[in-house]
Every structure is written in C-alpha cells, then in structure tokens.
Structure 1
C-alpha cells in the first residue's frame, strides 16, 4: 500500500521503502503518479522506473532542471523511463545542444533513451524498441526432439530458444511476418551477444560474423535446454517481466534488466534492434539464475540473444 509513511521513508533514503517502490513501479506504476511531484521536490529520482507514467508537468520540471543547472544520469533515466513525448523532444535537442555536464557522463543520450525502451534514430525520429503488450511465457518440453547443428565455438548443439509466429500480439512492434525462430548457443551466449540470420520460413543460421571473445576458453559440449516457451495470458502491464523469479519469462513488453539496458545494434545496418522477450533462468531450473534477452531487426533479418546475471 502507498501511504505518506512509505513516501516519507523513501525521501529519507530508507532501503526497504525504495525496494517497495521498485516493486510497485513494476507491478502498478500508475499508483505512483500522485507522489512523483513530491519525490522530485526531494530529488528522489531512483529508481527511475517510478517515473514510467510521469505526467507532463513532472517531465517539464525535470527538463527545466537539466536546462537550468545541468544534466545528471538520474535525471536522464527518469526522463527516459517516462517515455513522454516531451522527454523525447528534449533529449533529441540535447544531442545537438548538449546540456552542461554532459561530458561527465559515460554514455550518450541515445543510450539513456534505451533504458526506457526507446531510441532516437539517426534521422532524429523516435522508435519504440519494446511492445505495449506483454504475455506470460510458459516453458514446456518440446513436442519433438530438436535436431540442431553444433555451435562452431564449443560444439554444443545449438539451442532453439524460441519458435514464434510473427502474428503473436507480443510481436506487433517488431514488424515481422512469418515464423521467427531463435537458434543460438545457450553456453556461448552467456559470454557475448550472439547473432543469427533469420528468414520468415523459420530459418535461423549462425551469423559468420560472430566474434569469439578472448576470455571464452575451451569448453566441453553441453546439452541445451529442451523446453520451448509458449505464450500465455496477457500480463497486467508491459513491465511485469521478471529476470529473477520463476514464472517471470515474458514475451513482449519491457525487459527487467539485471544490469544496464543492452539493446544490441543490428550487424547489417547498425540500428538498435527491437526487444522480443525475456527467458529467466529460474524457469529452466529451480536453482537457475540470470536471464536471456531476445532481439530482432526485421528489416535486415537478424536476431540476437544477450544474457545478464548478477
């Protein structure tokens, strides 16, 4: 329950209160809207996900702070997570007219936007990387054996992480027509982003341009998971994926990142790829951790799998 005590504790930097607000930001972010002005008054900008449904007046105040006394990462993250049109217009302006303090940040304006699930393309237009609808993703044993070629790096059989119909509502934002299959190495993808070339007939081929990292040593072949995700009911909002909990695997919507947002660039054109879904380690194994994140760039026919763990 949100009450004055919880907000006061958050303003006082109480860790338990911040954890509770983080959970609310994922489950029911609209409940935080009446309190955002007060939190901003107290310069409470973390977790930035609290600002997901920030109204125009709150967004305008954060923009004025950046224009007035300079930029901070926390202010940009709050704006990015608001996904508000005013935030986009300001961040696009700041690409060409950097605000004071921009040179102290480690990444650029587009990378901050991606933390909120959208990007500013080279032509200055906005593009949403994530869907507005999210669906439970239940992992079930594949109905038949999956005969895949071997990983060229570790010789493990390649893993079919997902086999999707492009008409799934969770894929509406990616613009894919036909069958979309993600085939990768479940082991090597834990060490680097792995790309594959995909075709509408379900073709999925290891991309010859994948670069093996130097720190990936010799490995014994391992059998990949034999479970395939199957879409289930719609989730209550786009933010209810969980990288930590069993049942958190989700098609569409927005990912829960364990680390910073990681939307790969398309090997074909360099544009940021669209997010497809999250497969949580806890759904493969009761002791599993980490999460696999699936991405696609439909125009160039590339799919990607990334991995994060604590």
Structure 2
C-alpha cells in the first residue's frame, strides 16, 4: 500500500493542513531561518502535519544551486518539527528575497493498492486523474531517485524516520526548485523533536 499525496485545491495561506506554499505556522519566538552559505532568508516551502508532529520546511532560493540546498547538513535548508498539540500562529513573511511560493496547494492523502510510488502514480493516472495532481507520498517506504541518503538525527545519531516525499509541484507557479524534476524528502526523529529535509533529482 502507498499513500499518495494528491492535489486538494487551493487552501488559505495559513491553513493548518497538509500544504505547499502559504505562510509558516510557528510557536512564539520563531525566527525566520537564514542560509548558512549566503546569509539570505530562506523560502518557506511546506506545512506538513505528520505522525511525529508538524513539520515546517524552508530552503534557500537566493542563489539556486550555489548553496547546496539539497543537502540536509549544509545549512541551506531547514525543517522544524513541532509537537502536534503546539500553538502555531501564522508568521509574517520575511520582507527580503524570495521567501514565499506564489501559490498555495492543499495536499490530500489518497490510498493506493500499489506497492511502490511509481506504480501508485500510474494507477492514479489510469483511473482518470491528472498525473500532475499526484504530488508525493505520505509515510511508508521512500522511493529514492538516487542512493539512500537518509539522514542521521543530530540529537541521538540514529537514522531518522521517513515522513513524506514531495514532488516539485503541479505547475511552474507552485513548483519548488528540486533541480528540475526532483523530489524532496522529509525525515523526523520524534524522540528528539527534530526534522530534516533533502532533495534528489
């Protein structure tokens, strides 16, 4: 079984649901993350309620390709994990640089009987759905575009748990820069309340 993430239409920018785009929801005292390479503010990509809590994903887009934003340890992307019951009010966008996607897309978990992501997407399309509306995978076993790069938790050292995968987007306006047709991967360590993000293409 594979749980696809499929397009659920436009949603409000501050909706507390699975979505790409919009604005971050974060606890009091949150500071907008800046890239360790170029120093600029990162772009907010996604708000993702998952089993371990709520993940908020950011990635540098000030100098695409130059800041190693695909690497979970390079300091050019950031994933925050908050407890599911945490108070998370909306955060105003950082005023400098490209910090928000222009479109907000809701994501809907959609069960598939297929064993692997590509087969689930094929079945989804053959059932009369738009291929571009299949936007990722929730939980299960990740389908990797390259070698296994599952990160180790910086807190406890164990390999982090795969939470979900995101395709770049359904069109150019909602698209995230994962090197063209790449996929982004979110990992969590519930015990250490940490998350990590990487992408492959």
Give the TM-score normalised by structure 2. 0.59
Runs (4+) of structure 1 moved beyond 6 Å? Answer: none
Higher RCO structure, 1 or 2 (CA under 8 Å, sep 6+): 2
Higher fraction of strand: 2
Are 2:34 and 1:152 aligned? Answer: yes
Measured in 1, the distance between the counterparts of 2:2 and 2:87 equals 23
What is the aligned partner in structure 2 of residue 293 from structure 1?
185
Equivalent residue, structure 1, for 2:47: 162
Question: 1:262 aligned to 120, 142, 149, which one?
Answer: 149
Whichever of the two has the greater Rg, that structure is 1
- Deviations 1:178-213, CA, capped at 9 Å, x for gaps: x4122322536733214544221166xxxxxxxxxx
2:3 alignment counterpart:
134
Which structure carries more helix by proportion?
A: 1
Cα deviation per residue 1:15-65 (whole Å; 9 max; x = unaligned)? Answer: xxxxxxxxxxxxxxxxxxxxxxxxxxxxxxxxxxxxxxxxxxxxxxxxxxx
Match of residue 212 from structure 1: none
How many residues were matched structurally?
A: 150
The alpha carbon displacement at 1:239 in A equals 1.3
- 2:57·2:80 contact (CA, 8 Å) conserved in 1? no
Kindly state the Cα deviation for residue 253 of structure 1 after the two structures are TM-superposed: 2.3
Which residue is 2:108 aligned to? 231
- How much has 1:232 moved relative to structure 2? 3.0
Q: Distance in 2 between matches of 1:285 and 1:222?
A: 15
| TM-score normalised according to structure 1 size | 0.41
2:152 partner SS: coil
RMSD: 3.2
Alpha-carbon distance in structure 2 between the residues aligned to 1:189 and 1:265: 18
Counterparts in 2 of 1:1-310, with a 5 A limit?
A: 133-138=2-7, 140-144=9-13, 146-148=22-24, 150-153=32-35, 154-164=39-49, 166=50, 171=51, 176=52, 179-185=53-59, 187=61, 190-193=69-72, 194-200=77-83, 201=86, 221-225=97-101, 226-241=103-118, 246=132, 247-285=134-172, 288-309=180-201
Distance in 2 between the 1:189 and 1:292 partners? 14
Whole-Å separation in 1 of the counterparts to 2:199 and 2:40: 19
Distance 1:139-1:156 versus aligned 2 partners, 3 A rule: farther
